A and B are shown apart, each in its own frame.
Chain A
Amino acid sequence: MLENRETMLQMFPELFAKVPVREVGDYPINLLKSLSACAPPMCGGTPTVAVLTPGIHNSAYFEHSFLADQMGAELVEGHDLRVVDGRVAMRTTQGYRAIDVLYRRVDDDFLDPLNFRPDSMLGVPGIWDVYRAGGITIANAPGTGIADDKALYSYMPDIIEFYTGEKALLPNVPTWRCSEPEHLREVLDRLPELVVKEVHGSGGYGMLVGPAASRKEIAAFRAKLEANPGNYIAQPTLSLSTVPIFTKKGLAPRHVDLRPFVLMSPQGITITPGGLTRVAMTRGSLVVNSSQGGGTKDTWVLED
C-alpha cells in the first residue's frame, strides 16, 4: 500500500496536485501507536515494540523489514529472543532487553517449540508461558487466525448482531457451509455455477471456480467435496469489479478486490483511508492473490 503510493507520487505527481487524495503515510505510526496501546501491565515507561519475522527467506520479509523500519522498531527473529526473568527479551549489543509488545508475523504453530510444534526454529521457547503470565503482548493474539477460517465468515451477520444488537450495514455474500447436509446437497446440485473454497485455504489455492472449470475438474472436485464436506464452503460466483490495467496491447479490464487496513487497539479503531487493491493479471481470472502472480494498485480515498 505504502510503496504503491510512493510509486504513484513519483510517476504522476501532477495527479496528486489536482486531486485531493487522503494520506496513507501515517499507517506505520498508527500501527506503532496501536501496538504501544496494547502493552502489558508489566511494562514500565514507553513500551518496547518489536516485529517478529521468520527471516530473510520468507516471501513477506520485505514488508516486515519495511514496517519495522517505518515504526522504528527492532526486526527480530526467534533466535534473537529468549525468556529472561519472566520476560521475553532480545539480544542487543549491550545485553538482553525486555520486549513489551511483539508484532508477530510468524504463525501460531511456530511461536513456541516448547508448547506447539517442537520442530519450529522460528519461535521462542517459553514465550507462551510468558504470554499467559501477562509478561508480553503478542499481536495479533495467538488464536486469532480462526478469523481466517472461511466458514466463520458465514456467521458474520449473527456475530455483528450479537455484539452490537444491530443488523450489519453491508450484506454478506451468501455462503453455504458444506458441513451441513442440506447445504452440501444444494452445492453439489449447483457445482458448475459456484465458487468452492477450502475453509483453511489461502493464496487462492485449492479452490474451484465452477464457471471457469472443465467438466473433468468439476467431477474431481465433487469427489473431494463428498469425501470431506466439512473442509469446504461455497459461494455464488461473484462478478468482481474491474479496473483498467496497462497491458502490452494497451488498456484492458481486470478483476480486483480490496484489502482494507484497519487497526484495533484499546484506544479504538483506526481505518486507513486507502488500502491494497489486488488485481488478477490474467484476463477473466478471479484469482487476485499475489502468490499466484496477482498485481496491486494504489487505492485512493478522496477528501470531502
Chain B
Amino acid sequence: MLGKTAGSLFWMARYLERSENNARLIDAGFRIALTRSQTAPAEWRSILETAGVDQAFLATHDDYSSARVVDFLLRDPANPSSILSIVKHARDNARTARTALTREVWEAVNTSWMTLTDLLKRPVREDDLPDVLAAIRQQSAQVRGALTGTMLRNDGYNFARLGTFLERADNTARILDVKYYLLLPSVAHIGTSIDNVQWETILRSVSAHRAYRWLYGAEISALKIAEFLILYGQMPRSLAFCCAKMQDNLAWLQRGYGEETEAGRMADALCRQKLAGPIQAIFDGGLHEYLTDFLSANSALAMQIERDYRFVE
C-alpha cells in the first residue's frame, strides 16, 4: 500500500472522529447554555479550549455568546476545525485513498459531506441545532458502519482504526484536562461533591452519562469519573480502551509486514506506563501533569506512525 494512501486513511478516520467529537462537545455546551445561562460563557470557553480553537475564536470574536460559538464551531471558514472544514478534509482524504476504500465507505463519506455541507450552508437556528447535531452523529455512524461492514481487515483498515483511536484518546484526554480542576481532590475534600451539571457535561461530552450510572450508581466522585474515563477498559472512549486498540492495530501491522516498528514499541510503552493504574497513583502524581504527559506521548505516537509507515517523504 502507498504511504500516502495509508496516511489518507489515517487522516480520514481522524477527521471523521473529530467531527463526531465536536458535535458532542457542542451538544454538551448547548445543554449548559439552555439550563444555566450564567455559566454558559465559561463552559463555551472550555469547549473551545478542548477543541483547540480558543485562540482562533478570540482572534475574531470578543465574547462567548452561544450563537457565535456554535456558528464558529459548526461553519466558520476561519476555524480549521469547524465541522464544515472537517468533513471537507475527511472527504478529500477519502478521495485520495479512493482505491483503498470500498464503494460503500466512499459513498458514506461522500453522502456525509454533501448532507452536512447542505445543512450548514446557512447559520443554524437554535431550534434546528439538535437536529443538525443528530445528523452529524448519524452521518458519522453511517461511515463507521460501512467501514466495519465492508472493509477487508487488511493494513488499510488498521491505519483507519489507528486514526480513529488516536483522535479519540486525544479528545478524551483534552476533555479531562480542560476540566481537571473540577476533579482535583481538594474540591472533593472540602466536602462539596462535584457540581452535578458540570460532571454531567463531562460525561455527556463522551456520551457516557448513562453508562456511568449503570456502573457506579449515584455516587459521583472525581476519582470514579477519572477512573472511568482513563482506566476503564470496557468504556469505548476511555484512554485505556483507545490505547489497547492502537496497540492491537499496530501489532497486526507489524505481524502483516513482518517488521517491528518504533511506533509499536511506543504504543506498548504507553499502555504499560500510563494505563496500569491505580487511579489513586495518577492523582497522587497530579492529574494535570498526567494528562499533559499523555497528550504529548499520544501525539509523539502519531508522528512516529507517520514516519514508520512513510505517510510523507
- Spell out A's residues near B (CB within 8 Å): 55-56, 61, 65, 68-69, 74-77, 79-80, 82, 90-95
Contact = CB atoms under 8 A, between A and B. Distances in A.
Given A75-B99, A91-B313, A80 B257 contact: no
Nearest to B93: A56
A79 B2 CA distance: 11
Contacts of B4: 77, 79-80, 91
A93 B99 contact: no
Interface in B1-25: 1-6
A94 B259 contact: yes
Contact of A92 (B2, B95, B99): B2
A61 B97 CA distance: 12
B5 to A, nearest CB: 8
Given A69-B99, A80-B2, A92 B310 contact: yes
14 contacts: A55-B96, A61-B95, A68-B99, A74-B2, A76-B2, A80-B2, A91-B2, A92-B2, A93-B1, A93-B3, A93-B6, A93-B310, A94-B259, A95-B310
A66 B4 CA distance: 18
A278 B309 CA distance: 43
A77 B4 CA distance: 9
A75 B6 contact: no
B257 A93 contact: yes
A31 B296 CA distance: 48
A94 B2 CA distance: 8
Q: Taking chain B's interface residues, is the majority helix, strand, or loop, or is none over half, making it mixed?
A: helix
A115 to B, nearest CB: 21
A91 B98 contact: no
Contacts of B1: 92-93
A14 to B, nearest CB: 25
User: Which 6 A-B pairs have CB atoms at the shortest separation, nearest pair first?
Assistant: A65-B98, A93-B309, A56-B95, A69-B99, A91-B3, A93-B6
Q: What class of interface size applies to chain B in its complex with A?
A: 10 to 19
B155 interface: yes
Nearest to A69: B99
Contacts of A79: 4, 313
Given A91-B4, A93-B1, A93-B155, A65 B310 contact: no
Interface string B97-111: 011000000000000
Contacts of B257: 93-94
Q: Taking chain A's interface residues, is the majority helix, strand, or loop, or is none over half, making it mixed?
A: mixed
Contacts of B99: 65, 68-69, 74-75
A242 B310 CA distance: 53
A75 B98 CA distance: 9
Interface in B277-296: none
B96 A93 contact: no
Contacts of B248: none
Nearest to A97: B2
Interface string B146-161: 0000000001000000
Contacts of A92: 1-3, 310
B92 A56 contact: yes
A80 B3 contact: yes
Interface string B213-232: 00000000000000000000
Contacts of B98: 65, 69, 75
B2 A90 contact: yes
Contact of A91 (B92, B155, B259, B310): B310
Contacts of A95: 310
A77 B96 CA distance: 10
Nearest to B159: A93
A66 to B, nearest CB: 8
A98 to B, nearest CB: 14
Given A93-B2, A93-B3, 18 more contacts: A56-B92, A65-B95, A65-B98, A65-B99, A68-B99, A69-B99, A74-B99, A75-B98, A75-B99, A80-B4, A82-B313, A90-B2, A91-B3, A92-B1, A92-B3, A93-B155, A93-B310, A95-B310
Contacts of B92: 56
Contacts of A56: 92, 95-96
Which of A55, A61, A91 has the largest number of chain B CB atoms within 10 A? A91
B255 to A, nearest CB: 13
A61 B6 CA distance: 19
A68 B1 CA distance: 13
A126 B6 CA distance: 25
Contacts of A82: 313
Contacts of A91: 2-4, 310, 313
A33 to B, nearest CB: 19
Interface in B71-105: 92, 95-96, 98-99
Contacts of A61: 95
A104 to B, nearest CB: 16
Contacts of B96: 55-56
Nearest to A76: B2
A92 B155 CA distance: 12
Interface string B115-159: 000000000000000000000000000000000000000010000
Nearest to B101: A69
A61 B2 CA distance: 17
A69 B102 CA distance: 10
A228 B231 CA distance: 77
Contacts of A74: 2, 5, 99
Nearest to B96: A56
Interface string B252-272: 000001010000000000000
A80 B309 CA distance: 13
Nearest to A96: B310
